Each structure stands twice: as C-alpha cells, then as structure tokens.
Amino acid sequence: MKTIHKFSAIALVAMIVITSGCGSKRSPGRVYMPDMAYSRTYEAYDLLDSTKFTGDVNNKGGNMIYFNAMPAAGSIKRGDLFPYTLPNDSIGYNMSGAIANPVGELSVADMAEAGRLYNINCAVCHGAKGKANGPMSGKVGGIVDITLPQYQALGDGTIFHVMTYGKNNMGSYASQLTKEQRWKIVKYVRTLQGGGAAATSDSTNTATAVPDSTANAKKTM
C-alpha cells in the first residue's frame, strides 16, 4: 500500500513538472535564473531616486553610491590614439603646427580609404582635387583651394586641428571622423598638394582612391 502511495506521489510530481511547461505557446514555461534571461532596464543617464542613491561618497548614510557610467578621466579606449589636448583658440592653433602626424606610411588600401573619407566629408566643398570647386562652391563662402602654397605650408597638426575644431565657416569633424581617420585624411590631402608620399604596396588590396562622393557637406578650411 505504501508503495502505491509513493508511486502515486512520484507520478503526481512528474505530471506537475511536465504540465508546468505546457502552457501558452508564446511562453517558454519556467525559466531557470530569470535575472540572467531577462535583463532589467538600466537608464545610464536617468536621475536616480535620491532616497536610495547618492553621489556623495562622504555622506552616504544608508544610500548606495551611483556612478554616471562615463569613462574614467584620462582613459583611452582600446586601439584609440592618444587624446588631442591643444585648446580651440589662437594659442592652440599656433602650437598645432609642431604636432607630428602619428599615422605612419599608408598602404594602398589605407590611402584608398583615406581618399574615400575625404570625398565623403571634404570634397563637397574643397573638390575632389582640393581646388575649391566642389558642389557647394558658390553656395558657401570662404571655401579655399587647399593646393595653394599657403596651405601646403601648414603643418599636419594644423590641418588636423582645423578638422577637429573647425575654422571660420568650416565646422568640426570630430564627431564624424575618428582621430585616426582625420590623421589619414591629412595624409591624403598631402597627395593632392603634390607633396605626399606615395602609398606603399599592399598585396592584399591594390585599390586606388575612389571617385568623388558628396554625401556630407564640409565648409571651409
């Protein structure tokens, strides 16, 4: 009799386990460790309840310390170049000429990519050859011919500085282009000026500079 009761109890538990996952077809049934399966919504920059969280490490009370999820000051993301620290003023502009281009000699593939980025972001104003004859010529004032001697004389750092902060009618391109991309475009600009070194051979990619593209408008140099 006891054996029958034990068997019945085991059968009942088995039925409960089996049927617990046989509900709606839209539901997977019971979830093991639901906190791992369904992440809680986290608003990184939302204001937190001041009765539960505090940012004052010296006056915590019973509250939890919160952080704003911003990178630590002075930190650099993996693979990125060092920060450009010269200020956006006349002093920074004058000092920028002494900044050397940290990007080494470009391969054919890298030079082609630099040309593509130039055509997307710069050629719309400066023209595919840098002659100030892009599609925006005559519509935006102050577009310069970057192949003229006075612009050839600018240091790589100064061209980078202008691309980073903007100058006159030209806006900043720091949000559109990474630091490395801006430095590579400087290399490409030098080829338009006739003073840039030829790209090194690349056995994996022998592409050349791409045709003119006018996806984004760039203002003046």
Contact 171, 140 (CB under 8 A): no
DSSP 175: T
pLDDT tens per residue, range 151-204: 999 999 999 999 999 999 999 999 999 999 999 999 999 999 997 665 665 433
3-state secondary structure (DSSP) of residue 13: helix
pLDDT tens per residue, range 33-92: 777 777 666 666 667 777 777 777 787 777 777 766 677 777 888 888 888 999 999 999
Architecture of domain 90-192: Orthogonal Bundle (1.10)
pTM tops 0.85, yes or no: no
Residue 219 confidence (pLDDT): 40
3-state secondary structure string across 118-169: HHHHCHHHHCCCCCCCCCCECCECCCCCCCCHHHHCCCHHHHHHHHHHCECC
Question: Where are the domain boundaries for CATH 1.10.760.10 in the chain?
Answer: 90-192
